[in-house]
Each structure stands twice: as structure tokens, then as C-alpha cells.
Amino acid sequence: MDYGTIIFLAIFALVAGRFVYGRLKYGSWSGAFLKGSITRTVGEVDLRGGVGTQKLTVQLMSSSDNGEEFVGLVIVAKAALAASMQPYKLSKTQARELAGYLNQAAQ
């Protein structure tokens, strides 16, 4: 093996190891990406999409660093041969503000 291949495999192993470590530390992929443990799942909403399914999940999470609670929004899109997850981390103040905007828009 040449040095380029070894360097590529080492970088790949470091990146993959970071994701696996986060998954094991926080107990879920959402927790790994948002750096917190899921306290409880508040609810899920099915979103209308083209092909496949999309789901918005609202989770109450706590940070392991300082114990501070925050709200995690995770949009998961699944199709036949693909899947994507987009996590968002909101403080409780931001979550209340977003809830107010959604409430105004729905009236």
C-alpha cells in the first residue's frame, strides 16, 4: 500500500470512529449529532413529500456537559435507496418563539 491509501484510510477511520463514539455515548444518532441524550420524544409529524416518507420528530434533550435541557428537531427523509437526517438544536426560548410563529401561521 502506498502512503496516499494509508492516509485516506486513517482519516476515514477517524471520522467513522467519531460518529460511532457519539452514537455509543449519547445512545442515538440524533443525540450524537446534537451532542445530548434524549430525555423524551414529545411527538412526531408526518410531512408530505414526493417520493418516500418524511417525518419531523420533536425531542426534549439534555446536554451531558452541563445538564442543560434543549429541544431537538430532527427531520428524517427516507426513500427506496437513500435516507437523510437533518437535526436542529434549539434553546427552550427559541422553541417557544418558533411555537408562537407556527401558532400565528396556523390561525
pLDDT digits (tens, 9 = 90+) for 26-80: 888 888 888 888 888 888 888 876 677 888 888 888 776 777 888 888 888 888 8
Cα–Cα distance, 22 to 4 (Å, whole number): 27
pLDDT digits (tens, 9 = 90+) for 2-21: 888 999 999 999 999 998 99
Residue spans of the domains in the chain: they are 3-106
Q: What is the reported pLDDT for 75?
A: 86
Cα–Cα distance, 28 to 107 (Å, whole number): 35
Q: Which three cell numbers stand for residue 71?
A: 429541544
Q: What is the reported pLDDT for 49?
A: 67
pTM above 0.85, yes or no: no
